[in-house]
Amino acid sequence: MSQKNRQPSDLALYQRLLGYVAIYGVAFVLSIVGFIGYSVANVLLADLTQFLLDSLGESSRMGIGLVSQAVHSLWPQGDMSAVDYARIAVPVAAIVLALVRAVGYFLGNYFMNIVARGVVHRLRTEVFDALIRVPKQVIDQFTHGELVSKLTFNVEQVSGASSEALKTVIRDGLTVLALVAYMLYLNWKLTLVFFAVTPAIAGVVLVVGRHFRRYSRRIQDSMGEVTQLGNESMSAFDEIRMFSAADQQAARFYAASQFNRVQSLKLAFVQAVSTPIAQILLSIALAILFWFALDPEILAGFTPGSLVAFIAAATQLGKPIRTLTNVQSVIQRGLAASEDLFAQIDTPSERDAGELTLDRARGDIRFEGLSFGYPGDDRAVLSDISLDIPAGKMVAFVGRSGAGKSTLMHLLCRFYAPTSGGIQLDGTPIEAFRLADLRQQIALVSQRVVLFSDTVRANVAFGQQDRADDASLRQALETAQAWEFVEALPNGLDTVLGDGGDGLSGGQRQRLAIARAVLKDAPILILDEATSALDNESEAAIQASLEQVATGRTTLVIAHRLSTVERADLIVVMDQGRIVAADTHEALMAENGLYASLYQQGFGQQ
């Protein structure tokens, strides 16, 4: 199937967006009512000129105007002269119509903004909810900058389509309809002549729309790259300075920003060209209108006031038609963004076919003929892994970088599905358990410490708010050797941490992550280079605590540190996705194989 066939049509995308609008139906209806009042008031203000001019001419046909008829029905002229009558009626009617237009404008804009911001809020939360629930391999396809751009830039583009564009289409669309209806009322033949040029304007809009869509997609992609480069550079500030890479990063950022600039200028060019073309076509239509309107036979059907009112209405069409032409760029940017966002929302969530519930596992783990490779990549990351880990034992996994140690842990957590083979927990395939129950059995301390811009309390109790009482938190922090520095913080447990734990040392951040795992109290503990960020003194202090925490738990350790590995009940040596040896420290040293070589190197001295 071609890419073109896979893409939803503009109509399908807008219909789906309008489905979000329907949720805020009351506000939407009030907005429509307001814009109807605004549009009708605009038309009647044009019609008011007919009332005024015909009154000056003492025309016998002054009642043809809409305002004139309404005023005469509400307040008969009686013995008053036409001029005296108009001196009172026209100003009063003008004030009333101005008030109606003002109230209509307020209602239309305010309630449409309620709809628009509601749509954006709902769409943004749905995209976020979808992104945090999709399979990990889907997230792996995007950079952090691209993901952030979806939630910020792309959603705001949809905001334009669902707020400014929708508001413009309704307000100015209703204005055009009202003016056209008024012109048809005054003289339908002349109106049809005027609109003979309409197909040409519609053609311009369609051609321009296709260009807008293409350039909008390119701008979205480039914004993702710009965001990613910005995030990387700001988080790697020290490295950029120390490696004198400022010029290099500046050049990369300039190239990404320049591409975005070029695409934006192409979009601006198309938009700038489309408006004058539409105006020229409209001016041609007006010129034809004037030529026909001044024909004696046609003039005979008009009063001076109705002719001026007709021309005024035709002239007023220029602004809303121009605005409707311009709004194409906003609509196409929004549709391009919504296409991307809907693709994320429609991505299936992480598969969870398990039905078995699990309160607390014993911790027996079996890897049986396990193999894994990433989709679209023929290389095997793991090959034929078979291993039994009894409950309560500490098993250390060692090997060179890229040997597959962390991937094996990801498979145990069901972040990925194996290509072949399987994993059992307490004799049951892990796929049989509900995902939430399975992951509740595992506490993970990763080499990449993740702390949120929130309080210490919220970070340690992340996902476990039911255990967030002060006593439990203090116990977990003491076990992780973190209570002393937490207590010294300005607000203790309620101290708000900076971005990523900014302001804390690497060791302090690592201890908070360990405290989080301790609080979870899971029967299986994964320590993925968990002490790699600690200095020797801190590591020695925490090592005894980790051994205490590991007691009675199945502990899987991925480490380049010697101290943890030597204490393990079993050491598994991995190389190129395979288990090449598994035994105790003493036995592996006696074999003088890969483990002995790694040991002599101090596991990279990390």
Residue 191 shares a structural domain with residue 319 = yes
Residues 478 and 330 in one domain: no
SS3 of 365, please? Answer: strand
For 329, the token pair is 């760029």
Residue 541 lies in a domain: yes
> Which residue has 């029967």 as its token pair?
523
Whole-number pLDDT of residue 3: 40
C-alpha dist (Å) from residue 538 to 123, 480, 506, 535, 561: 46, 10, 11, 5, 13
Lowest mean pLDDT: which of 31-45, 60-74, 176-190? 60-74
* Token pair 């203000």 in the structure block, residue: 45
pLDDT category at 370 given cuts 50, 70, 90 is very high
How many CA atoms within 13 Å lie on the side-chain side of 141? Answer: 10
Q: Any residues with CB less than 8 A from the CB of 584 and at least 6 apart, and which?
A: 569, 570, 571
Q: Which residues pair with 574 in a beta bridge?
A: 399, 579
The pair of three-digit structure tokens given for residue 154, joined into one six-digit string? 């792309």
The verdict on 232 and 175 lying in the same domain is: yes
Q: How confident is the model at residue 60 (pLDDT cuts 50, 70, 90)?
A: very low
Residues 225-244, mean pLDDT to the nearest whole number: 60
CB 309 within 8 A of CB 186: yes
Q: Is the pTM of this model over 0.75?
A: no
Asked if the structure places residue 367 within a domain, the reply is: no
Q: Which of 325, 345, 365 lies at the terminal end of a domain, its last residue?
A: 345
Residues 314 and 395 in one domain: no
In a domain, residue 397? The reply is: yes
The pLDDT, as a whole number, for residue 245 is 63
Residues 261 and 395 in one domain: no
Name the strand (E) or helix (H) holding 10: helix 10-22
According to the model, what pLDDT value does residue 63 have?
47
pLDDT at 480: 83
- At 411, the pLDDT band (50, 70, 90 cuts) reads very high
For residue 140, give the H/E element and its range. Answer: none
Tell me whether residue 3 is in a domain: no
Same domain, 449 and 537: yes
**Token couple for 480:** 């992780």
At 117, the pLDDT band (50, 70, 90 cuts) reads confident
Tell me which residue of 506, 597, 605, 600 sits closest to 561, measured CA to CA: 605
> What average pLDDT is seen over the chain?
80
- Comparing 11 with 483, the larger pLDDT belongs to 483
| HSE value, Cβ hemisphere, 13 Å, CA-based, for 205 | 17
Same domain assignment for residues 41 and 148 = yes
Query: How many independent structural domains does the chain possess?
Result: 2
Give the model confidence (pLDDT) of 438-490 as tens digits. Answer: 989 998 887 778 788 888 888 888 888 777 788 889 988 888 888 889 899 88
Residue 282 lies in a domain: yes
pLDDT > 90 fraction of the chain, expressed in percent and rounded: 17
Contacts of 498 (CB under 8 A, 6+ apart): 453
User: Are 326 and 396 members of one domain?
Assistant: no
225 and 147 together in one domain: yes
Whether 184 shows a pLDDT value over 70: the answer reads yes
Q: What angle do CA 20, 25, 27 make, to 5 degrees?
A: 110
Q: What value does the mean pLDDT take over residues 421-439?
A: 93
**Is 452 within the bounds of a domain?**
yes
Lowest mean pLDDT among 144-153, 221-230, 262-271, 343-352: 221-230
Q: Please compute the mean of the pLDDT values over residues 97-105 and round it to a whole number.
A: 92
Measured CA to CA, the distance from residue 249 to residue 233 in angstroms comes to 7
Residue 281's pLDDT band (cuts 50, 70, 90): confident
Question: Residue 43: which CATH number?
Answer: 1.20.1560.10
pLDDT, tens digit, 9 for 90 and up, residues 512-566: 888 888 888 899 999 876 555 556 656 666 666 677 777 788 999 987 666 678 7
Claim to verify: residue 467 and residue 532 sit in the same structural domain:
yes
Do the beta carbons of residue 207 and residue 214 sit within 8 Å? no
Tokens for 343, please give them.
């693709």
386 lies in a domain?
no
| CATH number of domain containing 459 | 3.40.50.300
Could you tell me the residue range of the domain that residue 200 belongs to?
9-345
In a domain, 419, yes or no: no
Q: Are 123 and 197 members of one domain?
A: yes
Q: What percentage of the chain has pLDDT greater than the value 70?
A: 82
Identify whether residues 37 and 145 lie together within a single domain.
Answer: yes
At 301-325, the pLDDT tens digits run 677 777 888 888 888 887 887 788 7
For residue 333, how many other CB atoms are within 10 A of its CB?
A: 25
